[in-house]
Structure 1
Amino acid sequence: MIVDDRVALVGSANINDRSLLGSRDSEIGVLIEDKEFVESYMNGNPWKAGKFSLSLRLSLWQEHLGLRSEEISQIRDPVTNATYRDIWTATAKTNTMIYQDVFSCVPSDLIHSRAAFRQSTNIWKEKLGHTTIDLGITPEKLETYQNGNVKHTDPMERLQSIRGHLVSFPLDFMCKEDLRPGFSEGEFYASSQVFH
């Protein structure tokens, strides 16, 4: 975790049953507070950023966004719209769309119900001749644009357009379904506070 480009919390400190037993996994974390500062920007204003924390964030973001060295200056200010909306979110959406076109990923924001899920998997099974949910990569895909044009694309060519590792989290997956446990499921009898 990097806070305000000044403090970094680095480690693998997890809280789980193995860690709490004290006899198996050991966890470690370190808090690094910079004492050396460099000129930077935060929300469009001049900012004194920690030298280590800033370089760590820039390095991680460069990898996640697939940026070249000469493009790093575009992400120096992490909270402006130009960085968050135009670079971070745009990269995530583009990568997600490419993966969806090529692999028909599940979960997906395009699937809002169980019926839509069944329909989606049936279409892909029919297209590819697969009989399992692991549909793999499409041999050739039709890509439809908003203006109605249809274009045949090579999936491997589409994958070359991926930048970095960033994708959007599918927040709308199954959004029209009531996913609470049914009467016959054990979770039905537990207080909902257990799961929050």
Structure 2
Amino acid sequence: MKDSGSNFNRAHRSTRGAVVVLGLAIALAACGGSDEATSAAAPGAPAGSSSSSAAAGGGVDVAAANTAEEIGQAVADVYVQAFADLAEALADHPDEAVALERMRGVRERHIQDLVALGRKVEALSDADKATVQSAVSRVQSGLQYDPAIKPVYEAYTALHGHYRDAGVMSSNREFNRLFASFNILTQYAFFDLLERQNPEEAERLGL
């Protein structure tokens, strides 16, 4: 499993445009979803904090994204990298408590990168915002089976199966919700959407 994250990092550098939509039964729209699926954000992060350089665990250079096209691509890259980092963090199938703590950490790191990109989105014209949104729409609609990204998809679905079979997904509502919420992380780059769908998170982040 751990090799899946490493393989993605190598493939991602040579196929920057490749992105994935995860077609699980638990999957939600990349730019949508319910409060139920997004309310389990990791606690303790400073409100309004954001990444000003490459993601701590993801390797996406958030600071380098300036044009609408670059920002849209970076949002997609952070989204995909979050799945790769989750697969690596849980590759040894830790027990429920340890897995939940690791998952919170991975999720929060990528939320901070998406919030940093969202601040750039806020400064764009309406036309340029539409360009960013189009990039996210491409994440929703295409390349689910691209060979450069497929190992990440397989690792994520395998993790879901492992914790489902162990009974964690049914017995621990927060674990299930947090795991599913990776599918809609891109909402953190679109503040209007986040404020409508998860006002508590928008307030926590100082948006």
Scaled to the shorter chain, the TM-score interval is under 0.3
For normalisation by structure 1, the TM-score amounts to 0.22
Greater RCO, CA 8 A, separation 6+: 2
More strand by percentage: 1
